[in-house]
Amino acid sequence: MKRISVLLTIAIIALNFTSCKKYEGEGGRSKITGKLTINEKLYINGALSDTVSYPGATEDVYIVYGTQDSIFDDKVECNYDGSFSFNYLFPGTYTVFAYNEIFNTGNSITNNDDDYYTKVPVKFTVEVGKNETVDLGEITVVR
């Protein structure tokens, strides 16, 4: 009887260790950082006039935990200098992205009522290790 209880205890401990795998997401000690810069194209009468660059203050940057999701899991707002950080991540694979807003001119030049914008993601997929900080550097998006 004593032997069965010892084997049962070992089996329960083994199950606890195998069932506690931590997947991508919040709760760890790793982080992903970066800086968002915006290149804004200036148009005059429908023609590209100039491009200016500035920090992406108050812009949103998104993260997907793992590789299976088709929608973002979390987002952060950039600081005044465009810097951002996703903190407290478990080791694993993450996709970080921000959106370009592409201006598309329509066919009618006289009233510009068919001009429109489309959003195109700028994506980075990174592997994060245990207690690691991954710096994506500068992410540039177009407006």
pLDDT at 11 over 70: no
pTM reported for the whole predicted model: 0.79
pLDDT at 10 over 70: no
Nearest partner of 122 among 107, 93, 102, judged by Cα: 102
Average pLDDT over residues 61-88: 93
Q: Which fold has domain 22-142?
A: Immunoglobulin-like (2.60.40)
* Domain positions in the chain: 22-142
* Alpha carbon distance 51, 40 (integer Å): 5
Average pLDDT over residues 67-91: 93
> Max alpha carbon distance in the chain (Å)?
91
pLDDT tens, 83-93?
999 999 999 99
Tell which wins on pLDDT, 39 or 45: 39
List the Cα angle 26/27/30 in 5-degree steps: 80
| pLDDT score for 17 | 54
Phi-psi region of 78 (alpha: psi -120 to 50; beta: other; left: phi over 0): beta
Which burial class, exposed, middle or buried, applies to 41 when counting CB atoms under 10 A from its CB (0-12, 13-18, 19+)?
Answer: middle
pLDDT interval class at 68 (50, 70, 90): confident
pLDDT at 19 over 60: no
- Burial 55-87, CB ≥16 within 10 A → b, else e: bbeebebbbbbeeeeeebbeebebeeebbbebe
Tell which wins on pLDDT, 125 or 107: 125
Provide the mean pLDDT of the chain.
Answer: 86
